[in-house]
Amino acid sequence: MASFVVEGGQSLYGAIRPQGNKNAALPAIAASLLGSSPTILKNIPRILDVVTMLEILESLGAEVTWEGQNVVCIDPRSVRSGTIDQALAQKIRASLLLAGPLLARFGRVRLPPPGGDVIGRRRMDTHFLAFESLGADVSLNSGFEIECRTLKGADIFLDEPSVTATENAIMAAVLSEGESWIRNAASEPHVQDLCLMLISMGALIEGVGSNQLRISGVRELHGTTFTIGMDHIETGSFIGLAGVTGSEILIKDAPVEHMKSTFLAFRRLGVDIEINGSDIRVFGGSEKNVINDAFGSLPKIDDGPWPAFPADLTSIALVAATQCNGTVLVHEKMFESRMFFTDKLVAMGAQIILCDPHRAVVVGPSRLRPANLESPDIRAGMALLIAALGADGVSRIQNIGQIERGYERIGERLRDLGAKIERLD
């Protein structure tokens, strides 16, 4: 099992560019199955989750060719089955995204329960309700089987604005007969990317970026060439990194238009952020004072559906708060197990009170001690890596495959900023 040996307590300096959006790449790969000709995806992050998703497509019969470090060509014409391999499906939660395109293409899909991060209960009911609204029959056993001879357009109200359920509903609806409405839809940047990609394939979608989508079904989609947008979650991780390590970091070609709630949260922690076009300069070395609410009330950083602060950045914000002067409540509303990694930060010297599975009070600043750590999931793993870089001394992080599922060549890229990280296989 690979690990990182990290010597912390060093200020970092330099420029870094975020990767393509992981959460946009995975549905884009799934959507390529809807085309009648090959699709070329550019700015694809070459991370473990993407590699696994492509392996699943190859197991279905698709031809996958890397045409560069971050460019992949997918030819779906040889896919003949809607049955997904169980071992591969359980490696990655995004395997669930194949249900929509395979149902639309073959009228039937068999999928084992998906894998993914253990960050709390992650419902699949919203997916099934969307498929049933389009006329499909859903059978649940050890996995699930969905069948429908002809998908019919429908007015779909999602019982929660689930990102993956919205994406599955979109991919099924674009080849349905007639018009569909998807209401209470998720509208995150990666959902917008999926819509724009499908439009470039010939889909008819209105309302992109809103929580109500109008889709007019078409008979066929063609392949396309599409560039994945930059990852706003990785960008936010680099902002947190600068704050924790007291560093000046320039984040180039960032998705600034998708970062407003992220800027608001980190500025509330006193992190100095400067925007120049698509570049973000973070001055983490300045004194960071938590900004209280009116009348001195305790401030709160909480997540929510887009465009609120992203749930995937709550772990990063919590670590950043340990190095700021003041007290802040971090409220993770969406997943009840994401906060459990805080015990590792407490062992490093952080002053954190875990109130319940969703809320933690952070009092800073705390001098962090090195520790032997294990990465529990992608985002908590990155948060612990940031904490190790801010600690005085040498830490070791096990199970870094979890981090590398979501962050491309992260050790190498951070070393370019001056971080002392050694990867041991």
Q: Could you tell me the residue ranges of all domains in the chain?
A: 3-19+230-424, 22-227
Question: Between the CA of residue 45 and those of 26, 29, 142, 410, what are the distances in Å?
Answer: 10, 12, 32, 11
Closest CA to 396 of 405, 409, 387, 407: 387
Average pLDDT for 77-99:
85
Give the integer Cα–Cα distance in Å for 363 and 346: 11
Q: For 360-404, how does the pLDDT look when each residue is reduced to its tens digit (9 = 90+)? A: 999 989 999 999 999 888 999 999 999 999 999 999 999 998 899
The CATH number assigned to the domain with range 22-227 reads 3.65.10.10
Same fold, 3-19+230-424 and 22-227: yes
Question: How do 3-7 and 394-398 pair as beta strands?
Answer: antiparallel
Q: Which of 6-20, 112-126, 282-296 has the highest mean pLDDT?
A: 6-20
Average pLDDT score, the chain: 93
> ∠ CA(87), CA(89), CA(95), 5° rounding?
165
* 410 or 376: which leads in pLDDT: 410
Q: What class has domain 3-19+230-424? A: alpha beta
The sign of the dihedral angle between the CA atoms of 130, 132, 135, 136 is positive
Question: Between the CA of residue 250 and those of 242, 282, 417, what are the distances in Å?
Answer: 9, 6, 10
pLDDT for 377 equals 86
pLDDT band at 115 (very low <50, low <70, confident <90, very high): low
Give the integer Cα–Cα distance in Å for 126 and 133: 11
pLDDT band at 188 (very low <50, low <70, confident <90, very high): very high
pLDDT for 119 equals 43
pLDDT band at 122 (very low <50, low <70, confident <90, very high): low
pLDDT for 151 equals 94
pLDDT for 118 equals 43
The residue length of the chain stands at 425
Average pLDDT for 321-350:
91
Residues with Cβ within 8 Å of 159's Cβ and at least 6 positions away in sequence, in order, are 125, 126, 129, 184
pLDDT value at 195 more than 90: yes
User: Which amino acid is present at 386?
Assistant: I
Residues with Cβ within 8 Å of 144's Cβ and at least 6 positions away in sequence, in order, are 110, 111, 113, 124, 128, 138
Give the integer Cα–Cα distance in Å for 410 and 181: 40
pLDDT for 81 equals 77
Q: Kindly state the percentage of the chain with pLDDT values over 70.
A: 97
Question: Between the CA of residue 379 and those of 6, 313, 384, what are the distances in Å?
Answer: 18, 7, 9
pLDDT value at 337 more than 80: no
- Integer-rounded Cα radius of gyration of the chain: 22
Closest CA to 243 of 279, 290, 277: 290
Omega cis (within 30) before 45? no
Q: Kindly state the percentage of the chain with pLDDT values over 90.
A: 80
List, by residue number, the catalytic residues: 117
pLDDT value at 284 more than 80: yes
Give the integer Cα–Cα distance in Å for 309 and 344: 24
Q: Within 276-400, where are the H helices? A: 314-321, 342-347, 378-390
pLDDT for 324 equals 96
Q: For 129-164, how does the pLDDT look when each residue is reduced to its tens digit (9 = 90+)? A: 999 999 999 888 767 888 888 999 999 999 999 999
pLDDT band at 117 (very low <50, low <70, confident <90, very high): very low
Average pLDDT for 167-193:
97
pLDDT value at 113 more than 90: no
Q: For 228-277, how does the pLDDT look when each residue is reduced to its tens digit (9 = 90+)? A: 999 999 999 999 999 999 999 999 999 999 999 999 999 999 999 999 99
pLDDT for 100 equals 94
pLDDT for 152 equals 95
Average pLDDT for 283-298:
90
Give the integer Cα–Cα distance in Å for 389 and 371: 11
Closest CA to 398 of 418, 420, 424, 379: 424
